[in-house]
Amino acid sequence: MQTITIPMAQHISAVKARARSLERYKRNRAVKSRVKTFISSLRKKVTDVVRNDSPKDEVFVLLRTVESEIMKAKSKGVLKLNTASRMVSNITHYVKKNLQTYA
């Protein structure tokens, strides 16, 4: 894991601010990682459906879950609105494009 080097805080408020900053950093990384994991699982599911002729319903359920996770990250302040919207748009376009060629 990458270490963050911040000068040693001299005041109590600076010590607290640094601690809060590190907590946010860890939480934000965890949330972003969770979103990326959901996206990769959706992409894997789409390729499974295309290759193995599996039912499409599971993909659309997972797509709604991924959209929900992205918007949760946005509401927590981890992602900006435009970034979250772009991610949802891209992943939806990916699913529709691949399942359309499959159908």
Q: Are 35 and 69 in contact (CB under 8 A)?
A: yes
Give the pLDDT confidence of 19-73 residue by residue, as tens digits.
Answer: 999 999 999 999 999 999 999 999 999 999 988 877 888 999 999 999 999 999 9
> In angstroms, how far is CA 11 from the centroid of its own chain?
36
Element (H, E) at 21: helix 12-52
In a domain, 49, yes or no: yes
Any domain includes 28: no
Q: What gap in Å lies between CA 91 and CA 13, rounded to an integer? A: 42
Q: Which domain holds residue 48?
A: 36-102
User: How many domains, in total, are found in the chain?
Assistant: 1
CATH code where residue 83 lies: 1.20.58
Say what the pLDDT of residue 102 is. Answer: 59
> Is residue 19 in some structural domain?
no
In a domain, 24, yes or no: no
What is the pTM for the complete model shown?
A: 0.82
Contact by Cβ (8 Å): 88, 67: yes
In a domain, 88, yes or no: yes
Residue 86 lies in a domain: yes
Residue 28: how many other CB atoms lie within 10 Å: 15
